[in-house]
Chain A
Amino acid sequence: MLTIKNLHASIDGKEILKGINLEINVGEVHAIMGPNGSGKSTLAAVLAGRSEYEVTQGEVLYNGKNLLELEAEDRAREGIFLAFQYPIEIPGVSNINFLKTAISEIRAYKGLEQMTAKDFLTMLKEKQELVEIDRTLISRSINEGFSGGEKKRNEIFQMAMLEPKLSILDETDSGLDIDALRIVANGVNKLKSDENATIIITHYQRLLDYIVPDFVHVLYNGQIVKSGSKDLALELEENGYDYIKAELEA
């Protein structure tokens, strides 16, 4: 589904990604871990299409298409979803209106018929129950006055509503207490299927106890330096990132 070949990216002239190679197939969950500053969020931003980052080398193929040529909104319409690390507030725009607009744009892009109001409301109720998010949160303005945990849960709710093919969760676990973590993980697990794929970006093993990855990659200094199964995450938890550094220097 997603093939990243030798991806190099910079911001303000500073190179952050220094040759990323990654292959993701449908039905898979990939975890990307690494110390601060390794480029995890940059990778997420570049895949989502943030214009501040300049791709200097490499290619990214998404379902056979050249992803880097697509505008951010088109990448989203093609089924890529980014659960932001710091979801922004948009006062005055209700979550419901926002989602309705997004779904409407995506369907128009795909040449599908628009959803009726009735179907939309039914879907809203269904997904709201699925990810266990409070009804009152949904009718408020996007993230306005939401706590950190509520914002993250809202991201997962949006993910449920938009039904993406490739979800990128950028440090979704940061700022979550144990219960919130469990609920978010539950939501992600329920949305996982054979027809989509998930990239989980995280520092900690904790989330991966709930969302079990098929592959774990360690990102260090702009490159994926080690890949393995879920056991790799446990190793990192025990030994820290220093041992990876030591391995590389050896």
Chain B
Amino acid sequence: MNEVLEQKINTDYKYGFVTDIDADNAPKGLNENIIRFISAKKNEPEWMLAYRLKAFRHWLTMEEPDWAHIHYKKPDFQDIIYYSAPKPKKVLNSLDEVDPELLKTFEKLGISVKEQERLSGVESRVAIDVIVDSVSVKTTFKETLAEKGIIFCSLGEAIQEHPALVRKYMSSVVPSSDNFFAALNSAVFTDGSFCYIPKGVRCPMELSTYFRIEAAGTGQFERTLIIAEEDSHVSYLEGCTAPMRDENQLHAAVVELVAHKNAQIKYSTVQNWYQGDKEGKGGVFNFVTKRGICLEENAKISWTQVETGSAITWKYPSVILKGDKSVGEFYSVAVTNNYQQADTGTKMIHIGKDTKSTIISKGVSAGFSNNSYRGLVRISKGADNARNFSQCDSLLMGDQCGAHTFPYIEIKNNTAIVEHEATTSKIGEDQLFYCKQRGIDNEKAISLIVNGYCKDVLSQLPMEFAVEAQKLLEVSLEGSVG
């Protein structure tokens, strides 16, 4: 009797569709049908669809937040396409099937998608999950990693192959009701990376995901979940690019990190979404919720980010220091030029005993841009002997740009030691002339000075990407002198 009923219900759901399931793109707009369309496209189990719908219904009750130090025309959420598959189709068996344009993009970024490639003569392999327009295109080194019990695949695949793990951890760090964009993401996320490191395993290579937004008018809603079991280590890198377009594109991702006892997760991001043209037209809206939890004793989570792109960057990679002796770190370089705006920072929530957090934030503003650091250090009542060190520096290039700092410190335990330092500086004429008098021209001098300024953060990046990040800084500040 139950079976028949279930079948009936399932059939009813199917009839609910208005759209053609074989289409590659969902039509514009957001409603329950679109969500069912996305879930069906991905062949998801019941519980996943239920999760999405719950999040969507909650999202409908929420209001878009307004408190950031940024000005933008609010996106029309009904004017966005929430699902778009790139051509050719999803599952690719060899690199030959990948769009050569895409391969060229990665080459330009200096990242090798070919497994055999060597980096400067040393055999250095980076496992890469390639995600284009919300769909995972290829994941390299999967088999090699699988030998160690490491799971590195797209989230979509993980939902199929490892549902128990996904159900256990997804939303455990960022509940779908957490904020407006997290709720939206929970409803319409299409893909992202899933990473699971079993107990005692040190992941032998960098894991990396490259995100690229190809299609116009689409929103990118990735969801990444990384789980590090007891005594495990993993270093993960996320890179992002998007082609230049006149209209704004929305990127609202959610990243969750879970670190068990003695585990270490290092998460690095080099973000270069299209930042809009010199007049501030177009560009990606990068609204991201990233959070890690040091679940148990002695766990460690480090966030390192180099943000140079996006018209608007709005994100606060945070760490919840639940386990005793756990450690949270946040290293950030945020560059804004022309009309870009950034409101970024971190939240370090100290809950366990003897916890430690370090925040080093370097903002560089040029042109007519605005760059804000917003940080929270919260020491809860039971967080005995907590330690925090924060350093927020701003570098202004020119006199039309802005740099702002909004540090929040909430301490409910009087054994805490919290240090906060902030500096604001300008690239002085004298410094530039000093360089010139040694034969170094303006552009190069600025690059030298800015790189020196960001050294503490850049040195946290995995070696393979430190060079790229430096080049990116140079490019982002091109023409900022004058």
Q: Which of A's residues lie within 8 Å of B, judged by CB?
A: 48-50, 71-73, 76-77, 81-82, 84, 87-88, 90-94, 97-99, 101-102, 105-106, 109, 141-142, 158, 162
Residue of A nearest to B423 (CB): A91
> Would you give 11 A-B contacts (Cβ < 8 Å), ordered by A?
A49-B436, A49-B437, A77-B439, A84-B434, A90-B434, A90-B448, A92-B449, A93-B449, A99-B438, A105-B441, A109-B439
Complex CA–CA separation, A71 to B432 (angstroms): 13
On chain B, the residues within 8 Å of A93 by CB distance are 448-449, 451-452
B455 surroundings in chain A (CB, below 8 A): 92
Interface string of B432-466 (1 = CB under 8 A from A): 01111111111010001101111100000000000
| Interchain CA distance A87-B437 in the complex, whole Å | 12
Q: How far is the CA of A101 from the CA of B439 in the complex (A)?
A: 9
Q: How distant is the Cα of A98 from the Cα of B436 in the complex, in angstroms?
A: 11
Tell me the interface secondary structure of chain B in the complex: helix
Given A50-B433, A88-B431: A76 touches B449 (CB 8 Å cut-off): no
Task: Determine the distance from Cα of A153 to Cα of B441 in the docked complex, in whole angstroms.
Answer: 24
Separation of A192 and B439 alpha carbons in the complex (Å): 21
Taking A50-B433, A72-B433, A84-B434 as contacts, is the C-beta distance between A90 and B449 under 8 angstroms?
Answer: yes
In contact, B453 and A91 (Cβ under 8 angstroms): yes
Contacting pair A162 B438 (CB below 8 A): yes
B437 x A88 contact (CB < 8 A): no
Kindly identify, within residues 204 to 238 of chain B, every residue whose CB is under 8 Å from any CB belonging to chain A: none
Q: Are B430 and A76 in contact (CB under 8 A)?
A: no
How many residues in B have their beta carbons less than 8 Å from beta carbons of A? Answer: 21
Given known A92-B449, A93-B452, contact A102–B440 (CB-CB < 8 A): yes
A99 cross-chain contacts in B, Cβ below 8 A? 438
Report A154 CB to chain B, min CB distance, Å: 11
Q: Please give, as numbers and ranges, the residues of chain A lying within 8 Å of B433 by CB-CB distance.
A: 50, 72
Bound-state CA distance A98–B455 (Å) is 14
Bitwise interface map of B from 396 to 433 toward A, beta carbon under 8 Å scored 1, else 0:
00000000000000000000000000000000101101
A92-B452, A98-B448 known; A76-B428 Cβ under 8 A: no
Give the residues in chain A near B441, CB-CB below 8 Å: 71, 73, 105
Q: In angstroms, how far is the closest chain A Cβ from the Cβ of B212?
A: 32
Give bound CA distance, A121 to B369, whole Å: 41
Nearest-Cβ distance from residue A51 to partner chain B, whole angstroms: 8
Which one of B434, B439, B448 lies within 8 Å of A88 (CB-CB)?
B434
Judge whether A141 and B452 touch: CB under 8 Å.
yes
Q: Chain B contacts of A102 at CB under 8 A?
A: 435, 438-440
Please, what's the 1-or-0 string for B275-287, where 1 marks a CB less than 8 Å from any CB in chain A? 0000000000000
Q: Which B residues are CB-close (under 8 A) to A90? A: 431, 434-435, 448-449, 452
Q: How far is the CB of B464 from chain A (nearest CB, A)?
A: 20
Q: Mark B59-88, 1 if CB is under 8 A from A, else 0.
A: 000000000000000000000000000000
Most buried by B among A71, A73, A87, A88: A73
Are B437's CB and A106's CB within 8 A? no
Question: Bound complex: CA of A76 vs CA of B439, how far in Å?
Answer: 5
User: A73 to B439, Cβ gap below 8 A?
Assistant: yes
Q: Which residues of A contact B436 (CB under 8 A)?
A: 49, 71-73, 76
CA gap between A90 and B428 in the complex, in Å? 9
Which of chain A's residues have a CB closer than 8 A to the CB of B435?
A: 90, 98, 102
List of 5 A-B pairs having minimum Cβ-Cβ separation, nearest first: A92-B452, A93-B452, A76-B439, A102-B438, A72-B436
Report yes or no: A91 in contact with B452, Cβ–Cβ below 8 A. Answer: yes
B437 in contact with A82 (CB, 8 Å): yes
Partner of A105, one of B439, B452, B453: B439
Q: How far is the CA of A82 from the CA of B451 in the complex (A)?
A: 25
B440/A73 in contact, CB under 8 A: yes
* Chain A residues whose CB sits within 8 angstroms of the CB of B434 once the complex forms: 84, 87-88, 90, 142
What B residues does A101 contact at CB under 8 A?
A: 440, 444, 448
The answer to whether B440 touches A105, judged by C-beta atoms less than 8 angstroms apart, is yes
A98 to B439, CA, bound (A): 10
Q: How far is the CA of A25 from the CA of B439 in the complex (A)?
A: 23
When distances are taken between beta carbons in the complex, the residues of chain A under 8 Å from B449 are 90, 92-93
Bound-complex Cα distance A88 to B433 (A): 10
CA distance in complex: A101, B449 (Å): 12
Q: Give Cα distance in the complex from A158 to B452, angstroms.
A: 19
- C-alpha gap A81/B430 in the complex (Å): 16
Which residues of the partner chain B approach A141 to less than 8 Å between Cβ atoms?
Answer: 452
**In the assembled complex, how far is the CB of residue B428 from the closest CB belonging to chain A, in whole angstroms?**
7
Give the interface centre of A50, A72, A99, A105 by most chain B CB atoms within 10 Å.
A72
With A87-B434, A90-B452, A97-B448: A162-B428 Cβ-Cβ less than 8 Å: no
Q: Given A88-B428, A88-B430, A101-B444, do A76 and B437 touch, yes or no (CB 8 Å)?
A: yes
Q: How far is the CA of A102 from the CA of B444 in the complex (A)?
A: 10
Contacts of B451 in A (CB 8 A): 92-93
Give residues 98-149 of B contacting A (CB, 8 Å).
none
User: Which A residues touch B439, using CB under 8 A?
Assistant: 73, 76-77, 102, 105-106, 109, 162
Q: For the complex formed, measure the closest distance between the CB of A147 and the CB atoms of chain B, giving whole angstroms.
A: 18
Measured CB to CB, the closest approach of chain B to A100, in angstroms, equals 10
- Distance, CA A97 to CA B435, complexed state (A): 12
With known contacts A88-B430, A101-B444, A105-B444, A158–B438 Cβ distance under 8 A = yes
Q: Which of B431, B438, B444, B453 contacts A76 (CB 8 A)?
A: B438
Residues on B with beta carbons closer than 8 Å to the beta carbon of A72 = 433, 436-437
In the bound assembly, the distance between CA atoms of A73 and B439 in angstroms comes to 4
Q: Tell which of B434, B438, B440, B455 has the most Cβ of chain A within 10 Å.
A: B438
